[in-house]
């Protein structure tokens, strides 16, 4: 158990060799966090953006290779227009504010999803920030924006079919790698740990293919309250798991 009394740095006691390489987070509960305080939902998104900053820094500090954040789903377009606009504004503000930090920290920004659906100004800023940070070698921060797992798999299928129809690909030769190479996440390591905040026990169309063997960590904490101490708890839980990948504990020499 990670000691809660370590007020200074809750991440310091983690065993670095037992950390995930790729962490994905479903950042949920912003609205309920705000409502519980009698505030408007947008306030929750603003505070959630602060959690994003904290988590990005912490993961970078711990040497995590890849962090993927579910920031806006394909389904989230159905929210009230004012909330969608506020989220897009916040994204723009985040990109402007964090650009220098990403450059300083060697973080490469990446985006997955139907990026073409984002407002033009947001898309421009996103493209610019991705280009500016493209040399970052120490961590890749992927924002899932207008993202849907089924949509991603469907477009990969469409690309496979197009390549086959063009004679570039023999249908018989299509294996897992061929499909994975056509996903938005091509080139990223496997997701090791999937975190969801706010007590919801569902995947909500996030990284359906990529979580095949991920460890899941659910917490009741709303995302605006998910900071270093909560992240340390999630990583400790991950470190305590036994990942068997179909084998027995005996085969792996980890249990009796």
- Closest alpha carbon to 118 in 155, 66, 157, 73: 73
Residue 217 engages ligand IPE in binding (rule: CB under 6 A): no
Smallest gap, in angstroms, from Cβ of residue 220 to ligand IPE?
A: 12
DSSP assigned state of 195: E
Total chain residues near ligand IPE (CB under 6 A): 18
Residue 28 engages Mg ion in binding (rule: CB under 5 A): yes
Q: Is 168:138 a contact under the CB 8 Å cutoff?
A: no
The interface region with ligand IPE, picked from 21-29, 172-180, 181-189, 210-218 by CB under 6 A, is 21-29
- Closest alpha carbon to 45 in 95, 76, 73, 86: 86
Has 76 been annotated as catalytic?
yes
Smallest gap, in angstroms, from Cβ of residue 168 to ligand IPE?
A: 35
In the set 28, 30, 110, 192, the catalytic residue is 28
Residues in the chain: 256
Residue number of the CB atom closest to ligand IPE: 31
Residue 200 engages ligand IPE in binding (rule: CB under 6 A): yes
In the set 65, 76, 132, 163, the catalytic residue is 76
**Residue holding tokens 């898309």?**
123
- Which bin fits 167, alpha (ψ -120 to 50), beta or left (φ > 0)? left
Q: Report the interface residues with ligand IPE, using CB under 6 A.
A: 26-32, 70-73, 75-76, 87, 198, 200, 202, 204
């Amino acid at each position: 158990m990670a000691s809660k009394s370590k007020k200074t740095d809750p991440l310091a006691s983690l065993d670095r060799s037992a950390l995930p390489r790729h962490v994905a987070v479903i950042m949920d509960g912003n609205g309920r966090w705000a409502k519980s305080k009698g505030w408007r939902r947008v306030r929750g998104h603003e505070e959630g953006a602060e959690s994003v900053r904290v988590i990005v820094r912490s993961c970078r500090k711990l040497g995590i290779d890849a962090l993927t954040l579910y920031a806006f789903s394909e389904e989230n377009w159905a929210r009230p227009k004012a909330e969608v606009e506020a989220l897009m504004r916040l994204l723009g503000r985040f990109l402007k504010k964090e650009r220098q930090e990403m450059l300083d920290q060697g973080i490469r920004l990446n985006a997955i999803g139907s990026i073409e659906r984002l407002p033009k100004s947001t898309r421009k800023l996103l493209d610019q920030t991705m280009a500016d940070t493209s040399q970052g070698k120490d961590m890749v921060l992927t924002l899932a924006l207008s993202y849907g797992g089924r949509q991603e798999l469907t477009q990969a299928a469409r690309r496979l079919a197009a390549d086959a129809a063009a004679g570039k690909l023999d249908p018989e030769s299509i294996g897992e790698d061929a499909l994975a190479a056509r996903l938005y996440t091509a080139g990223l390591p496997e997701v090791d740990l999937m975190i969801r905040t706010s007590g919801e026990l569902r995947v909500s169309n996030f990284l359906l293919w990529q979580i095949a063997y991920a460890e899941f960590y659910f917490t009741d904490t709303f995302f605006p309250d998910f900071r270093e101490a909560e992240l340390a708890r999630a990583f400790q839980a991950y470190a305590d798991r036994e990942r068997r990948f179909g084998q027995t504990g005996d085969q792996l020499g980890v249990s009796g």
